[in-house]
Copies of this chain bind each other. A is one copy, B any other.
Amino acid sequence: METNREFIEQRMRDLQSSIIAELELADGDGKFSSDYWSHSEQGGGLTRVLRNARVIEKGGVNFSAVSGKLSPKAARSLEMETETFFATGVSIVMHPSNPHVPIIHMNVRYFEGDDGMYWFGGGIDLTPHYVVEEDAIDFHKKLKAVCDQYESGFYSEFKKWADDYFFITHRNETRGIGGIFFDRLSHKNRSLSKNELAEFVFSVGHSFAPIYVGLMNKYATKAFSANEKKWQLIRRGRYAEFNLAIDRGTRFGLETGGRTESILMSLPAEAHWEYNYSPEKNSLEERTLSFLKKGINWVDYSVNEDR
């Protein structure tokens, strides 16, 4: 079967459906709302949002497929010369109510321009309010296992890419413990065919639900204190800072007339900013901050309780 735009778009739709089915099952309470929307040029999307469910306080699983002509501004932003484009993808952010359950983000996308030009992009990254080393190791090992099925160098390259991308410069901290991030993958710059790249990207997409459901199940009923809730809201403030001030995907979407409510579903229901906040010495919060830096080799990390 040919990996053409119709085929990829259908697989994106299927990916959205299957992830929603798995998340609804794991949450056990809420149902995702559905909003179909149309792009001003051609195409549109289906935004699905879950609110105030058992585990998830606010989360979105968005599908979109749009085509049209790139504005000069959008073309500059994408650093590419193409007149017409087609883009389809699935984008996810989950904000749980329990601070022991991490925030997670996943995105897979396909872009097609003129003359057969195309690329795939995407990634998964985890933002625990409290970093648990065993979970971070497990998360990265699972991502590495997905990558290793396709190309031995993918994980280390894309792990570094995530470290660099999900970095809040003005805080000098990473958004979370990273994951993988990749962009502009095509057979022209990789040793894989277009078919193989598509398989890789959808493998990443389908790895999302089992990874996150595992974390939901592990922590959704863990007791938490008022202080831990407060810390969660401050960490969500950092998440909002990254998404609004830094994230290129958000900026591109907002500046090119994307559907604002679909793009900003990534923002938490509630976030706090406290002037000059810093956690107590030797607290779990301070310990978490010590992990929010680039270059931690989680796959080979050995847990040292004396750290």
Contact = CB atoms under 8 A, between A and B. Distances in A.
Contact of A58 (B60, B270, B275): B275
Which of A169, A171, A255, A270 counts the most B-chain CB atoms under 10 A from its CB?
A270
Interface stretch (A215-223, A238-246, A284-292, A298-306): A238-246
A250 B246 CA distance: 12
A274 interface: yes
Interface residues of A, number: 34
A76 to B, nearest CB: 15
A265 interface: yes
Contacts of A204: none
A193 to B, nearest CB: 38
Contacts of A265: 275
Interface in A26-79: 33, 35, 49, 51, 58, 60
A261 interface: yes
Contact of A271 (B35, B58, B171, B270): B270
Kindly name the residue among A51, A255, A273, A274 whose own CB sees the greatest number of chain B CB atoms within 10 A. Answer: A273
A267 interface: yes
Number of this chain's copies in the complex: 2
A261 B245 contact: no
B274 A269 contact: yes
Given A244-B245, A254-B170, A268 B276 contact: no
A121 interface: no
Contacts of A267: 237, 273
B273 A268 contact: yes
25 contacts: A33-B275, A49-B276, A51-B275, A169-B254, A169-B255, A170-B255, A170-B263, A170-B264, A171-B260, A233-B270, A240-B244, A240-B271, A241-B264, A244-B244, A244-B245, A245-B250, A245-B251, A245-B254, A261-B276, A265-B275, A269-B273, A270-B271, A270-B272, A270-B273, A271-B271
Given A245-B251, A269-B273, 19 more contacts: A51-B275, A58-B275, A60-B275, A170-B255, A170-B260, A170-B263, A233-B270, A241-B244, A244-B245, A245-B254, A261-B275, A261-B276, A268-B273, A270-B270, A270-B271, A270-B272, A270-B273, A271-B271, A271-B272
Across the A-B interface, give the 10 residue pairs with the lowest CB-CB distance, nearest first: A244-B244, A267-B273, A170-B254, A244-B245, A170-B260, A49-B275, A261-B276, A270-B272, A265-B275, A271-B271
